[in-house]
Structures are given as structure tokens and as C-alpha cells.
Amino acid sequence: MTQGPVFLIGGGWTPAAFPAIFGRFAAAVRARAGDGPQRIACVLLQTEDREAYFAGSAGALASVGAGEAYPVFVSPEQPLQGSHLEGAAGVLVGGGLTPAYHDAIVPTASAWLPHLLADGIPYAGFSAGAMIAPRHGIIGGWKLRRTPSDLAICSEDVSEDEEYLDVRPGLGLVPFAVDVHASQYGTPTRLLHAVRAGLVPHGWAVDEDTVLEVSDGSVAVHGLGCAYRARRTGPSFTVDILEDGDRQDIT
């Protein structure tokens, strides 16, 4: 079996967007599970608000008729393991502090990712879960080092507690970088600078209540907002703005 579809969600909790976002993920899980259990592992950071985050994720999935969701709470000290995903027909990685998600999930990927890929299990990343999914993940930061003074590239409010633009190896589920909360917090500029600096080859910035569905060599946009695709074309940029129903090749 080939790699399952990947759903990269830009954040947002508007119920009207749930069918386009969580509904498509749930449909992919049903197709993968067939007559078997449709359990979905909700991988969330171990924080004081973890139960509330799980309740929100489980409620969104239940609203679109998804199968049983169960929580997997992780931290850099207690990272994700293969045993956490046994019997899961889908994996949803939630939102929160992106560097902490990276440190709790990516270093142990060799213990669970091959199984997910080989069995075609759908992956959904919500906000932080979308940012760590690419081969090269934009993890945070709001400045670039420059002489004689640093350059601000986005609001400090979306820095993820990182001062300088931080790009790290991710899960490798998609070949392009992803930033989230695009129109809401102005993160497309961070993506543009990451591409310009050669830290990522190309990428997408995704609005809240919007998802990129990646499968069969293409990227489709669904939801209430837009997605912004940035690529280098020689010395210049190409930026495409896509809306619900638009599709482009993955390369």
C-alpha cells in the first residue's frame, strides 16, 4: 500500500468549516479502514489544557461522523512511540507550541512513521501538526539575522517562542514547507523569507478553517479561506492564491 493522504490544516475552529476539513480526513480514514475499526489517534502536547484540546478535536471529528478518537499525550521527555498508534486507522496531530511538538514527535519518527506510510494511514496536521509534516519544517521565529541590524519578517506574536527563523528536518510527508494562520496572523511573509533564504525549496501558507489535501501527486485546497503558494522562479517569486476547490500539482 502507498502513502495515505495528508491533510494540512491552517488552524481555526469554525464549525461551518468542519465538513470541508475534518470531514475529508474522516472520509479518508473510513476508506482506509474498510470494515475494520476507524479509530483515530489524536496526538497532543502534554499541557495543562490537554484534556480541553482533546475534547475540541474529538468533538470536531464526531461532528462529521468520524470513528472513535482517543488521546495520545506527548512531550519532548515522553515522545511519540509506535505503540501509541497501534490499531489506529488515522492520525491527527494537533496544535500548540510548534517547537515542542517537533521535539516530541519528529526525533522518534523512525519508530512509527514507516508503519504509517506502509499501511497508507491518513495523517492530519492541525496548525503545529501541519508545520512539522514537511521534509523541511518552518518551526517558528520572527526575525532574520542581518548586518547591521536584524530584519523582522512577521509578528512576534506568531514566533512560537523562537526569535530567529527556525527551519528543521520534519516528518517528510510532503516536499514543501507549510506555515499556518496565514491571513489571520500574516505568516506568508515568514514563508517568503524562508524561500528567499533558500531554507525551504517552496511552500504554502494556509488560512485558518482551510486545509491542503495532498494525495496522488496534487494539492487541493478546501475550506473557508485561502492558501498561498510561494515558489522561486529565477531571481523572482511566484505567489499563487488558491481558494476552495482549487488544485495544483505537488511539484
Asked, for residue 86, whether it belongs to a domain, the answer is yes
What's the pLDDT at 35? 84
Asked, for residue 24, whether it belongs to a domain, the answer is yes
SS3 state at 223: strand
Report DSSP state, residue 206: E
Q: What stretches in the chain show pLDDT beneath 50?
A: none
Number of domains in the chain: 1
SS3 state at 30: helix
Asked, for residue 231, whether it belongs to a domain, the answer is yes
Strands (E), 127-201: 136-140, 143-144, 151-152, 166-169, 177-179
29 φ/ψ angles, rounded to the nearest 5 degrees: -65, -45
Beta strand 151-152 pairing with 227-233: unpaired
Q: What is the CATH number of the domain that holds 51?
A: 3.40.50.880
Asked, for residue 59, whether it belongs to a domain, the answer is yes
Asked, for residue 31, whether it belongs to a domain, the answer is yes
What's the pLDDT at 84? 96
Cis ω on the peptide bond leading into residue 122 (within 30° of 0)? Answer: no
Domain limits for position 174: 6-249
- Are 68 and 37 a contacting pair, CB within 8 Å? yes
Q: What is the pLDDT of residues 107-126, one digit of tens each?
A: 999 999 999 999 999 999 99
18-33 vs 50-63: helix axis angle to the nearest 10? 80
What's the pLDDT at 181? 97
Asked, for residue 132, whether it belongs to a domain, the answer is yes
What's the pLDDT at 1? 52
Asked, for residue 1, whether it belongs to a domain, the answer is no
